[in-house]
Chain A
Amino acid sequence: MSDQMYREYILDHYKNPRNFGRLEGADISHEENNPLCGDVVGMDIKTRDGVIEDVRFHGRGCAISQASASLLTERLKGMPLDDARKIGKEDVLEELGIEISPARLKCALLSLKVLKVGAYGLNQEDE
């Protein structure tokens, strides 16, 4: 049976997450949990001249939430923060490239929520 959700690269990102860990002296540091399952994803971002210089994520959760976070961090590196703020749900789901059942959408989008809340929080402090 071909696997719709647990594709090879999803499992690879789950077992070998990219950019996993913490960043000392991060400009943006934010953590969110999924109240339905208690899963946690946190993200540390370093910026220079409005561009994301480095990013790490931490937490624990299911294959979907962890692979989604891992993929998102890969995408974020070197991206202007303004562009990162524009990343939408569709972008994240497209990047994941798998069919997500309604019950698991929150897992797939948890890391995006962390990015959004974190990035906009920094924005408010700047102003």
Chain B
Amino acid sequence: MSTLTYDVTAVRRDFPIFETGVAYLDSANTSQRPNQVVAKMEEYFRKYNANVERAAYKLSEQATAEFEAVREKVRQFVNARSTHEIVYSSGTTGGLNLVAYSWGRANIKAGDLMVATVMEHHSNLVPWQLLAQEKGARLEFVDIDENGRLRRDQFAALMAQNPRLVAFTHVSNTLGTINPVKELTAAAHAAGAVVVVDGAQGAPHLGFDVQDADVDFYAFSSHKMCGPTGTGVLYGKRALLEAMPPFLSGGEMISAVRLEGTTFREPPHKFEAGTQAIAEVIGMGAAIDYLQGIGFPAMRAHEDALTDYAYEALSELDGVTVFGPPPGPDKAGVLSFDVKGIHPHDVSTILDRTDVCVRSGHNCTQPLMHRLDVAGTVRASFFVYTERAEIDRLLAGLKEAQRIFA
């Protein structure tokens, strides 16, 4: 119903990239940026380009005000208690590594159990592997069922072993599975674990309420939510952040430096060493405004309708196998599939001839590819600006690929 009132044509006018004629079905990889984001960044460059927090002139004061206003915007976006809990990062990978290096090195000991899942993106898997190797800790993975949902029985069995840390994704970037973050977090907390959630795919499409879900850490990227690359957010509970040692050190994050030693600022600044990606942070703020202006419920309904349409059409194609849960409340706008007898890269190359952009390969989830027993997948993902005609071009391209490889 809401799809009838959702004016995707108007949304697309905000994205000049579509004037090139491209069918962009790779938003789970990186999103496109609307004029509003580009204009906001340009405003910074043109009108108040200066470093933040470290100069006593008006230009810097304005830059600082804009930079910190985004922190408050993000706080509201994820419903954190305080801006002290909002750390700017270089992106999801940067945020998760901050947790692994700072919290992890200070808290994980030999023999401790950490739990992740087979559906994790490498960025929420490799940092824990390195931590486990370094500390002699144990790392176990929760498997998926045949529909691409987490095996809750395995999750419960691992919680019974009292892990120190539980890391999982909000939304699978390959399967589109939306995990029940609140339930999993409650179970992990009952077992005494700290919970780290990869919000790279969740925050842009669903939003997130850190207090409602009660997670300890939640990391996401600007560039997957219509903002620029190079920045993102790590939410962390204040008490945890305060107790954590610095990760990167240097300028900006210190309180007082003497040759004998250094004291550090309060979070979030303790974790923001060096000049931050100022223009990008300001652009990220404009991206949040943009998405909230459209509204997350309307966007979700739009993406749901596209997912229904594409899922059904793909399922009807001979030789196409779609992975992950069917459309429904626990499915995001991400469809990964196999085309029998044609490698995903070949599918992508043929689709590219008609300017249809999809992801092909392992999607940075190699363990999941092994689990599904495929070399890779073709992945189409949808966002606020995706229109049905783009999916039709995908379907036409797939038929062409099948004709060539017949």
Give A contacts to B, CB under 8 Å.
3, 5-6, 11, 36-39, 60-64, 101, 103-104, 107
Q: How far is the CA of A107 from the CA of B360 in the complex (A)?
A: 13
Given A6-B404, A61-B375, does the pair A37, B346 have CB atoms closer than 8 Å? no
Mind listing 9 A-B residue pairs with CB under 8 Å?
A: A6-B405, A37-B344, A37-B360, A39-B345, A39-B375, A61-B345, A63-B342, A63-B343, A104-B349
Closest to A100 in B: B349
Q: How far is the CA of A38 from the CA of B367 in the complex (A)?
A: 11
B278-310 residues at the A interface, CB under 8 angstroms: none
Q: Does B331 contact A (CB under 8 A)?
A: no
Chain A residues positioned under 8 Å from B362 (CB to CB): 37-38
Over the window 358-371 of chain B, the binary record of Cβ atoms lying under 8 Å from chain A Cβ atoms (1 yes, 0 no) is 00111000100100
Chain A residues positioned under 8 Å from B345 (CB to CB): 37, 39, 61-62, 64, 104, 107
Chain A residues positioned under 8 Å from B350 (CB to CB): 6
Asked if B361 and A37 make an inter-chain contact with CB atoms under 8 angstroms apart, the answer reads yes
Q: Does B376 contact A (CB under 8 A)?
A: yes
Asked if B349 and A5 make an inter-chain contact with CB atoms under 8 angstroms apart, the answer reads yes
Closest to A38 in B: B362
Query: What 6 A-B pairs come out closest when comparing CB atoms?
Result: A62-B343, A37-B361, A62-B345, A38-B362, A63-B346, A62-B346
B186 to chain A: closest CB distance in Å? 36
Given A6-B404, A11-B404, does the pair A38, B346 have CB atoms closer than 8 Å? no
Closest to A59 in B: B375
Q: How far is the CA of A60 from the CA of B370 in the complex (A)?
A: 13
B117-131 residues at the A interface, CB under 8 angstroms: none
Asked if B405 and A11 make an inter-chain contact with CB atoms under 8 angstroms apart, the answer reads yes
User: Would you call the interface of chain B mostly helix, strand, loop, or mixed?
Assistant: helix
Asked if A38 and B404 make an inter-chain contact with CB atoms under 8 angstroms apart, the answer reads no
Chain B residues positioned under 8 Å from A38 (CB to CB): 361-362, 366, 369, 375-376
Q: How far is the CA of A73 from the CA of B360 in the complex (A)?
A: 27
Asked if B349 and A101 make an inter-chain contact with CB atoms under 8 angstroms apart, the answer reads yes
Q: How far is the CA of A104 from the CA of B343 in the complex (A)?
A: 13
Interface residues on B, range: 10 to 19
Give B contacts to A, CB under 8 Å.
342-346, 349-350, 360-362, 366, 369, 375-376, 404-405
Closest to A66 in B: B343
What total count of A-B pairs have CB within 8 Å? 45
Q: How far is the CA of A66 from the CA of B82 in the complex (A)?
A: 55
B63 to chain A: closest CB distance in Å? 38
Closest to A62 in B: B343
A17 to chain B: closest CB distance in Å? 13
B240 to chain A: closest CB distance in Å? 34
Q: How far is the CA of A107 from the CA of B405 in the complex (A)?
A: 18
Chain B residues positioned under 8 Å from A3 (CB to CB): 404
Asked if B369 and A6 make an inter-chain contact with CB atoms under 8 angstroms apart, the answer reads no
Chain A residues positioned under 8 Å from B366 (CB to CB): 38
Chain B residues positioned under 8 Å from A6 (CB to CB): 346, 350, 404-405
Chain A residues positioned under 8 Å from B404 (CB to CB): 3, 6, 11
Q: How far is the CA of A103 from the CA of B349 in the complex (A)?
A: 9
Chain B residues positioned under 8 Å from A5 (CB to CB): 349
Q: How far is the CA of A80 from the CA of B130 in the complex (A)?
A: 44
A7 to chain B: closest CB distance in Å? 10
Q: How far is the CA of A60 from the CA of B373 in the complex (A)?
A: 12
Q: How far is the CA of A37 from the CA of B362 in the complex (A)?
A: 6
Q: How far is the CA of A101 from the CA of B349 in the complex (A)?
A: 9
Q: How far is the CA of A36 from the CA of B361 in the complex (A)?
A: 8
Q: How far is the CA of A36 from the CA of B349 in the complex (A)?
A: 15
Chain B residues positioned under 8 Å from A63 (CB to CB): 342-343, 346, 405
Q: How far is the CA of A38 from the CA of B360 in the complex (A)?
A: 11
B30 to chain A: closest CB distance in Å? 16
Chain A residues positioned under 8 Å from B342 (CB to CB): 63
B355 to chain A: closest CB distance in Å? 14
Given A62-B343, A63-B343, does the pair A37, B376 have CB atoms closer than 8 Å? yes
Closest to B369 in A: A38
B374 to chain A: closest CB distance in Å? 10
Q: How far is the CA of A117 from the CA of B86 in the complex (A)?
A: 48
Closest to A6 in B: B404
Identify 19 new A-B residue pairs, CB closer than 8 A, beyond the known A38-B376, A39-B376, A63-B342.
A6-B346, A6-B404, A11-B404, A36-B361, A37-B345, A37-B376, A38-B362, A39-B345, A39-B375, A61-B343, A61-B345, A61-B375, A62-B344, A62-B345, A62-B346, A63-B343, A101-B349, A104-B349, A107-B345
